[in-house]
Structure 1
């Protein structure tokens, strides 16, 4: 599962997800939301923007090409709301949420109500409607990218844990559908297994799962609040272990030849709002050694993420993409200092594996720490800021791995 040059993911340079939406696209999307533009007009604006952002990535030497998430309002897209048994709810009752979960707490500040969520109402089943958005996004990229480069295409999908942790015990699903978490996650796992196979059958070979929940288990306050909550059946650590099992059960039926990565995010909301802090140290051994994906996309752009020491627990058959460049703020990181951090990361990998530092570099790549616009409104950066960050990531990789993708 180590790097292969140029054609097979993961690549030395990666974009973790979204790009800033151009104003022209946002204008049409807002007009469509206000019923002042048609669906056809929206699709044309999306197509034009995707064409441009694909060229942008190619011009900057990026190979894991995505569509900027330009057809989505939020990073999680339309998969969960369209599963059988799930329903999108606007203005949900705040009392169904665990208020100490970092993103929920942020949304409920000053008594604000969450704008929308997705709630389980019955047995969860995969269906064609759930795949529709992913397939359309993939097929358009296949249409505009030469066939010999279709293996470069990367699609981001939401996490299987996303609509579980946030809800109070007893609120994640009705008792009429599931007696316990084991039953619930059995159907969630099946739905994700089917989705991975559907996407593989449509030609996708590179998928990135976006999971902000996992980083919450680095947050000491969240752990304490969870364990103090008398409603919960079990501890936060026990739930963390369950989530790892969910991923591993999904991976048991991962199509051979499908590269699967997981991005752990500490929050990336409107105007660069983050939700949580905490170093990986607390979960590093269990995460890196027990969660069976090919690649971890990890954030290390500032002190909120701690040091690089957890990389000593990385097994030889897994990769880490180092999110060393902030997508949240305009200040440009120093090239030489960022290069030095890549070499520091290799030292920690080497210390744990017994490989040389040069061999350890083969398990690493570099990226912005998160997308530039997980929410369509974007981060506190300009278009030029984004281009500067993209160039910096490419320059770092060219210094560390000259001549590689």
Structure 2
């Protein structure tokens, strides 16, 4: 069962990441060139995050993030924080529709472990929680899902390292669930009460062309679905009752590009019917996401946050068009179980999407305006 009472209001939330300000980009480049120290970089990051929280509060957000300002990637930085994981150059980046990313990856170099004192996300959230408390607003933490971690560990050449440390899939699955569970509890101890599992695995699984390219012809999508939901549910089982766990699903978000396309139809029974989260933040900003019909499979009283406002373009959506789409979604779920957000973050990697900071904030102001009017 979900870990929270889902009838509570979701509140105005952004999916997670924000465009990095110029001063932060400059400092990260200087640090990479050994021109400033880690402590000096962290001071710049601290200042940028403090200002970001204030801006989020000013635009009306009820829940804030640190914009993922300390991360290069939405997912890999978290993986690299676990014991038994090393940062590598894969030799090829993630292949998007029109671009290829940098080729960083994560693979095993030992058995998995979690140590709160050495995992950077723990200290990073500790700072965000302090700033949010000072500004009297709630903070949330965004984490790549356990399924996403597994997907990286079995990606191409990475998979050959697993058998050096694990003699069965089940043993690996057990450790993935354990380190995530321990990480979430460590975040809870720092005050986290909203955890969002960002998960592209389902968004990629809906696209047979994408998976034939990555996994090769003949892969078993049903088996992968069973693995993904087991990993995610296992990691979030038996958490404190006042901890809300949500998930965000998309089809790739890099420099305004996308990686996969296809509706949720083929994964709805498992993702919407069996994953034990409170709310689904779902990409719905283009035809690539398909229809709202799969929302009828969302089980229990779980809710859906419709990602109808794109972060891939600075062009502002027409308000009435968005309201009409929300009404269309009520064919499958009642309005009280629906909400609105952007489809993804504005900068899932440090490069960011192709829009301005002013356009970023205008997008969020539009979300707020529609929430007030419709909900």
- For normalisation by structure 2, the TM-score amounts to 0.91
Distance 1:108 1:130, change over 3 A: farther
Structure 1 counterpart of 2:79: 80
Instruction: Supply the distance in 2 between the matched residues of 1:113 and 1:57 (Cα, whole angstroms).
Output: 28
Distance 1:57 1:148, change over 3 A: closer
Structure 2 counterpart of 1:261: 246
Residues 299 and 370, structure 1, Cα contact 8 Å, conserved in 2: yes
Distance 1:170 1:86, change over 3 A: closer
Instruction: Supply the distance in 1 between the matched residues of 2:295 and 2:101 (Cα, whole angstroms).
Output: 39
For 1:347-366, what per-residue CA distance to the aligned partner results, in whole angstroms no more than 9, with x for missing partners?
211xxxxxxxxxx2222211
Secondary structure of 2:146's counterpart equals: coil
Please state how far the C-alpha of 1:223 moved relative to its aligned partner: 4.9
Structure 2 counterpart of 1:142: 129
Structure 2 counterpart of 1:92: 90
Distance 1:77 1:236, change over 3 A: closer
Residues 124 and 188, structure 1, Cα contact 8 Å, conserved in 2: yes
For 1:166-200, what per-residue CA distance to the aligned partner results, in whole angstroms no more than 9, with x for missing partners?
52388264323112322211100011111111111
Q: 1:372 aligns with which of 336, 343, 346?
A: 346
Structure 1 counterpart of 2:335: 361
| Larger radius of gyration between Structure 1 and Structure 2 | 1
Structure 2 counterpart of 1:221: 209
Q: Does 1:28 pair with 2:2?
A: no
**Which runs of no fewer than 5 residues in structure 1 stay unpaired?**
95-102, 350-359
For 1:83-111, what per-residue CA distance to the aligned partner results, in whole angstroms no more than 9, with x for missing partners?
1211111x2355xxxxxxxx7334997xx
Please state how far the C-alpha of 1:78 moved relative to its aligned partner: 3.0
Instruction: Supply the distance in 2 between the matched residues of 1:153 and 1:46 (Cα, whole angstroms).
Output: 17
CA RMSD after TM alignment = 2.4
Q: 1:383 aligns with which of 351, 357, 360?
A: 357
Distance 1:35 1:148, change over 3 A: closer
Give the aligned length: 369
Secondary structure of 2:228's counterpart equals: helix
For 1:110-146, what per-residue CA distance to the aligned partner results, in whole angstroms no more than 9, with x for missing partners?
xx79521110122111123553x22222222232233
Secondary structure of 1:209's counterpart equals: strand
Residues 96 and 258, structure 2, Cα contact 8 Å, conserved in 1: no
Please state how far the C-alpha of 1:148 moved relative to its aligned partner: 9.4
Please state how far the C-alpha of 1:326 moved relative to its aligned partner: 0.3
Q: Does 1:303 pair with 2:291?
A: no
Q: Does 1:15 pair with 2:14?
A: yes
Structure 2 counterpart of 1:348: 332
For 1:314-366, what per-residue CA distance to the aligned partner results, in whole angstroms no more than 9, with x for missing partners?
223211111000001011111011112112212211xxxxxxxxxx2222211
Q: 1:285 aligns with which of 269, 282, 286?
A: 269
Structure 1 counterpart of 2:372: 398
Instruction: Supply the distance in 2 between the matched residues of 1:73 and 1:226 (Cα, whole angstroms).
Output: 23
Distance 1:251 1:384, change over 3 A: same
Q: How do residues 173-212 of structure 1 correspond to structure 2 at under 5 angstroms?
A: 173-212=161-200
- Please, which moves more after superposition, 390-399 or 336-345? 336-345
Please state how far the C-alpha of 1:77 moved relative to its aligned partner: 5.6
**Which runs of no fewer than 5 residues in structure 2 stay unpaired?**
none
Structure 2 counterpart of 1:105: 95
